[in-house]
Structure 1
Amino acid sequence: MATTEVVQSRRIVTEIPGPESRAIQKRRGAAVAQGVGSVLPVYVERAGGGIIEDVDGNALIDFGSGIAVTNVGNADPRVAERAAEQLGRFTHTCFMVNPYESYVEVCEALNRVTPGDHEKRSILLNSGAEAVENAVKIARGATGRQAVVVFDHAYHGRTNLTMGLTAKNMPYKHGFGPFAGEIHRMPMAYAYRWPTGPENCGPEAAAVTIDRITEQIGADNVAALVIEPIQGEGGFIEPAPGFLPALAEFCRAHGIVFVADEVQTGFARTGHMFASEHEGIVPDLITTAKGIAGGLPLAAVTGRAELMDAVHRGGLGGTYGGNPAACAAALAALEVIESEGLVERAREIGALMLARLRTFAERFDVVGDVRGRGAMVAIELVEGDGRPNPEAVARVLKHCHARGLVLLSAGTHGNVIRMLPPLVIGDDLLVEGLNLLEEALAAL
């Protein structure tokens, strides 16, 4: 596995956060807008593999990967070297003014690795939200329709349109409206909480969605159906089996553009290169970001050539989209994923973590559900009657953070603990992190 010189072991030498981090945090309060939050105000000095080192000399186990960004590990040598080499040659020209080969190479790579063997085109952008927004633009431009279908528990970004696509109000949407129109929300195939049981969830949720689209919107008015193949911020919800294939088939039959938002699930994270592949889904458009460039800001929309080429010249782009250093990093990150076998490694991580997490569900009543694929796994914490238990999540995270394990929460009700370790993390750190999580659950 590719790692930096960062020693791959947890080390706690001060309280968390330590005095240096607290000093910087005090400066932050006078300089950074209060609306920008941080899960764990431990200021980072360096990171690599499965470890984050802070300014106080503590070394924390990383179960967050910067929210599924550093799939190949932080500061992977190949990523860093390629980006640095590019920075030494030129930093920016704007591809729309003076183009460069690496942009073309990244698009070629995306066209090759994304699902489906049809002819594809790609555009490069800066962020996941920008990618989703452009996917909707492309779908509307190509179909001449306006309506967009999204789902409960969805998260698609923080721009005005993507806030409208996002389901959760606080903190993403509260006070920021009005939002874009012609957005229609449907029920998610959330097996753990489906009223008639998980075995009925996929077919029933698909039937409800198709009926509502047909009766309330009109299929011929829908430009795009946008869905995360595994929901991220919504709580790592895996759509119940059969749900995605039924929706994809309906979209094909009615000329609706099926958009897979793979911003969080892409680039080997779930044990396939893309999560759509788990059920053989071939999206018309796929949005990517996060893990695409090993930590540098880059995003993309990749899709069927006839859809991507339907937009008039000049209708797509952006000043920084496809920055040359980010393109160099993306090419290196993809090489690492393929040469290091990180798709298979994600499956190994998932097998180890899910097996252990299921023992937690047997031991602790507070663990209501264990779910996920590959290195994208979660536990949902509940009250005795099954109601969401966000207070327990807050206590578990506080316990783990204090002992040097970076964990994140998720879920519409804030009652899910999500785990996104780098795909280069060692089994010893995985086991140690899970030990800390078990200790925190026992402390409840």
Structure 2
Amino acid sequence: MPIQTSIRTRTQQAIDLEERHGAHNYHPLPVVLDSGKGVFVWDVEGKRYYDFLSAYSAVNQGHCHPRLVKVMQEQAARMTLTSRAFYNSVLGEYARTVCTRFGYDRMLPMNTGAEAVETAIKMARKWGYEKKGIPAGKARVIVCEGNFHGRTITIVSMSTDPDSQGGFGPFTPGFEVIPYDDIPALERALEDPNVCAFLVEPIQGEKGVYVPAGDYIPRAIAACKARNVLFIADEIQTGIARTGRWLCSVPDSERDPARRPDVVVLAKALSGGMYPVSAVLANDAVMNVFTPGTHGSTYGGNPMGARLAIEALAIVEDEDLCGNAERLGQQFRSAMQQLVDTFPWVKLVRGRGLLNALVIEPRTAADGSPRTAWELCLLLRDNGLLAKPTHGDIIRFAPPLVITEAQLQECVNIISTSVRQFA
């Protein structure tokens, strides 16, 4: 059947306005969203969709969660920003909440994920010079092929994505890129005495929800500890219940520092999608390399973001979003496996919790029209579900974690129907 891609009037007007005046640094799916509630979003024409992207896992708690809306309104009427020139009445409570929840001594507040990654890199380098004794200017950070940690100039300097790097040099030195999910490669890189840190995603989300071997992260942590190298877990997309536990890199019950990341980077769902909030977590021996004047942010730790983060984490706990993600994620992958078993061009399903991906093989239909992940996402949109390809013909499926079993089954039906229409 032909893929329906018609665009209605209000939608086209909004797209035209953005295309005329906005920078063309994204390629959005042609739908213009106007409101959201829970797992649903509505476009400017009033059509309802299931959101299966969740703003790249930023709205784990669902769109406009009433508790977050209430907290935001109350804090907005009280105080939104002080800068760190003064103490504020919320930051201490926020820091204690995050440190207690994730098991670290200290938290450094920032705003975006990329800022938090930059913070972790700065901290690791300074730790390398002051604690490990690396010669000045020689500290190195190990990263992985296919990584995505943001788009600042330092972060794209360690990227292997041509779109991220092309035309933006010269690049920041001090990084070594190794294959992902390859312990021997990591062990060889760790032989360099000037290595201060290994920065890694527990699951590579932007690469297409690439899940490493089950023992990769524990073995990588152990290898880093053995060489006195900091293990930095980028949990921006995988953390805060998305993969069925608070941190993807370590079981919730594990409190032994020898088996845990030295540094954790959080963002996205830390505020439930209400406000840019990020954080870097570490114990005293690492975090205390920062002293007044060595790092900062005007907005980092502001009362608005801090209050939202406290409530966002409480919602995850109160509504058992870890358990929901684990249980429904298994159901989702089981249903998608049936499509893999039925349609030869549906190649693979992979994921953990409610961070999953379907890998399809691009084809050409009998009428000559393309059959790619992009076209399938357009069909999903027409059938009431929003998802987006990542890295070619891989479709990421990541709904808000508040989704119910009945809603998930309805979404499975939409995806199954769309795949059959697409065959």
Q: Same fold (TM over 0.5)?
A: yes
Deviation at 1:353, TM superposition (A): 0.5
Q: Secondary structure at the match of 2:100?
A: helix
Deviation string 1:85-129 (CA, Å, 9 cap, x unpaired) is 1110112110x2122132222211111122x4xx51101111111
1:226 equivalent among 184, 191, 199: 199
Q: Secondary structure at the match of 2:239?
A: coil
Q: Which residue number corresponds to residue 243 of structure 1?
A: 216
1:151 aligns with 2:144: yes
1:47 equivalent among 30, 36, 48: 36
Instruction: Name segments (4+ residues, structure 1) moved above 4 Å.
Output: 14-17, 278-281
Distance in 2, Cα, partners of 1:89 & 1:138: 33
Determine what percentage of the aligned residue pairs are the same residue.
Answer: 30
Q: Which residue number corresponds to residue 210 of structure 1?
A: 187
Amino acid at match of 1:392: T
Please tell me whether the aligned partners of residues 376 and 420 of structure 1 are also in contact (alpha carbons under 8 angstroms): yes
Q: Secondary structure at the match of 1:149?
A: strand
1:284 aligns with 2:292: no
Please tell me whether the aligned partners of residues 65 and 71 of structure 1 are also in contact (alpha carbons under 8 angstroms): yes
Q: Which residue number corresponds to residue 99 of structure 2?
A: 111
Q: Secondary structure at the match of 1:430?
A: helix
Deviation string 1:151-181 (CA, Å, 9 cap, x unpaired) is 01110001011112333222x2222222211
Amino acid at match of 1:97: A
More divergent stretch after superposition (78-87 vs 306-315): 306-315
Distance in 2, Cα, partners of 1:278 & 1:361: 30
Q: Which residue number corresponds to residue 155 of structure 2?
A: 162
Amino acid at match of 2:92: V
Distance change (3 Å), C-alpha of 1:335 and 1:187: same
Distance in 2, Cα, partners of 1:229 & 1:426: 26
1:181 aligns with 2:154: no
Q: Which residue number corresponds to residue 367 of structure 2?
A: none
1:347 aligns with 2:326: yes
> Considering only aligned residues, what root-mean-square deviation do their CA atoms show, in Å?
1.9
Please tell me whether the aligned partners of residues 72 and 422 of structure 1 are also in contact (alpha carbons under 8 angstroms): yes
Amino acid at match of 1:149: I
Please tell me whether the aligned partners of residues 223 and 257 of structure 1 are also in contact (alpha carbons under 8 angstroms): yes
Deviation at 1:440, TM superposition (A): 2.9
Deviation at 1:310, TM superposition (A): 1.4
Q: Secondary structure at the match of 1:165?
A: coil
Q: Secondary structure at the match of 2:331?
A: helix
Q: Which residue number corresponds to residue 415 of structure 1?
A: 393
Q: Which residue number corresponds to residue 74 of structure 1?
A: 63
Please tell me whether the aligned partners of residues 221 and 231 of structure 2 are also in contact (alpha carbons under 8 angstroms): yes
Unpaired segments of 5 or more residues in structure 1? Answer: 1-13, 190-204, 385-389
Distance in 2, Cα, partners of 1:326 & 1:27: 30
> Scaled by the length of structure 2, what TM-score is found?
0.90
1:36-435 aligned within 5 A: 37-94=26-83, 96-114=84-102, 116=103, 120-144=105-129, 145=134, 146-170=139-163, 172-189=164-181, 205-214=182-191, 218=192, 220-278=193-251, 281-295=259-273, 296-382=275-361, 392-411=372-391, 414-435=392-413
| Count of aligned pairs | 399
Amino acid at match of 1:111: C
Deviation string 1:244-284 (CA, Å, 9 cap, x unpaired) is 22221111111111000000011111100110124965110
Please tell me whether the aligned partners of residues 224 and 230 of structure 2 are also in contact (alpha carbons under 8 angstroms): yes
Q: Which residue number corresponds to residue 436 of structure 1?
A: 414
Q: Secondary structure at the match of 1:335?
A: helix
Distance in 1, Cα, partners of 2:359 & 2:31: 26
Q: Secondary structure at the match of 1:97?
A: coil
Distance change (3 Å), C-alpha of 1:83 and 1:344: same
Please tell me whether the aligned partners of residues 157 and 166 of structure 1 are also in contact (alpha carbons under 8 angstroms): no
